[in-house]
Amino acid sequence: MAKQDYYETLGVSQDVSEGELKKAYRRHAMKYHPDRNPGDAEAEAKFKELSEAYEVLSDPEKRAAYDRYGHDAFEGGMGGGGFHADGASFSDIFGDVFGDIFGGGGPGGGGRSSVHRGSDLRYTLDLTLEEAVFGAEKTIRVPRLTECDTCGGSGAKPGSSPKTCQTCNGQGQVRMQQGFFAIQQTCPRCHGQGKVITDPCTDCRGQGRKEETKTLSVKIPAGVDTGDRIRLSGEGEAGVNGGPAGDLYVQANVKEHRIFKRDGKDLYCEVPISFTDAALGGELEVPTLDGRVKVKVPEGTQTGKLFRVRSKGVKPVRGGVQGDLLCRVVVETPVNLTGKQRELMQELHQTLNHKTHAPKREGWFDSVKSFFDEMKF
């Protein structure tokens, strides 16, 4: 009886990758394995066909011969060794599945890599508004884990070296089996490293890293705002077993200013003006982050009016047009009046026509009157 094509047996195409081939074999083998189908001769025969097909196609040389000559490649001495495998046990197949999930290797495979990149660190840097707007250079002190210079990061005492773990034979994982069920887990002795340190370094106590505080200079670009981050490559924690160091992220936190408030690229401030300046108009001197400027106040200025001073805000750190300074005036009511001042204020009050001199007041009272007239009690 002619044999079925190996690719058809496994349900894959001729250009199947090694990984997909392995997945297909596992899927079918777990279904037809004799351990799961005791006494089923048909399932046992199917399992043998699957195992034979996989043994040939998983070997690059045998697969090349099969692609060229078909089944004849393994009959009559045409370069194949024939099929001699008895088939993998169900626990081997199931163990391979768990090995892939948990990172372990099967027979002949390497264990999990013990080389790891160091952790990234974050440092919050407080800045004044002036430093954030104009830029600055700051010195910071960062506690972190660095490679132990005594043992060079190996964790072993100078003159010695880590030994291969005898529990897992350097795999970093051990297999636990009960019946046909098998599972791999991290080696309890070496904790997945594959090696153990019998004579630890006295400086880092076998960790390969130790704590130290490093002083760094950080250049703050002009225009940063709260939440912006500056990355210092390689200034994080040292890697494990020769792995690369992590990065340090310096995050800006701009402190509140006693005069200015920031909104994006614009600055805001409140400027008190006298009752007479607001009524008569004049010139107002306002502060900016780089000096003083004069603003013309028109006659009859009210509280809350905004005066815009162009290009006295913040130039964005990522480029763009510089923001503005917006000054909100607050009209101050005179306090602690002298007798003479009180008389003058009363005289002024008597001469004021509310409709002419206080249009907003009159409009507001008219709205209130209409509101009450429309109410039904």
What is the side-by-side order of every strand in the sheet holding 248-254?
121-127, 248-254, 229-232
CA–CA separation, 254 and 184 (whole Å): 51
Whether 121-158+203-254 shares its CATH topology with 261-369 is answered: yes
Q: For residue range 158-181, what is the model confidence (pLDDT) as tens digits?
A: 988 888 888 888 888 887 766 556
Integer CA distances (angstroms), 18 to 14, 85, 126, in order: 11, 19, 54
pLDDT score of 190: 84
Question: Which overall architecture, per CATH, does domain 261-369 show?
Answer: Sandwich (2.60)
pLDDT tens, per residue, the chain with 377 residues: 567 888 888 898 888 888 888 888 888 888 887 777 888 888 888 888 888 888 888 888 888 888 877 777 666 544 444 444 444 544 444 444 444 444 444 433 344 446 788 899 999 999 999 999 999 999 999 999 998 888 888 888 898 888 888 888 888 888 776 655 667 788 888 888 888 888 999 888 888 889 999 999 999 999 999 999 999 999 999 988 778 899 999 999 999 999 999 999 999 999 999 989 999 998 989 999 999 999 999 999 999 999 999 999 999 998 899 999 999 999 998 889 999 999 998 988 888 776 666 666 666 666 666 766 676 55
> So what's the pLDDT on residue 208?
86
CA angle 173/174/176 to nearest 5° reads: 140
pTM of the predicted structure, to 2 decimals:
0.59
Q: How far apart are CA 255 and CA 188, in angstroms?
A: 49
Domain ranges within the chain, ordered by starting residue: 6-88, 121-158+203-254, 261-369
Determine the CATH number of domain 6-88: 1.10.287.110
Residues forming a β-bridge with 15: none
Residue 214 amino acid letter: K
Topology (CATH) of 121-158+203-254: HSP40/DNAj peptide-binding domain (2.60.260)
279, burial (CB in 10 Å: exposed 0-12, middle 13-18, buried 19+): middle
Question: What percentage of residues in the chain have a pLDDT greater than 70?
Answer: 80
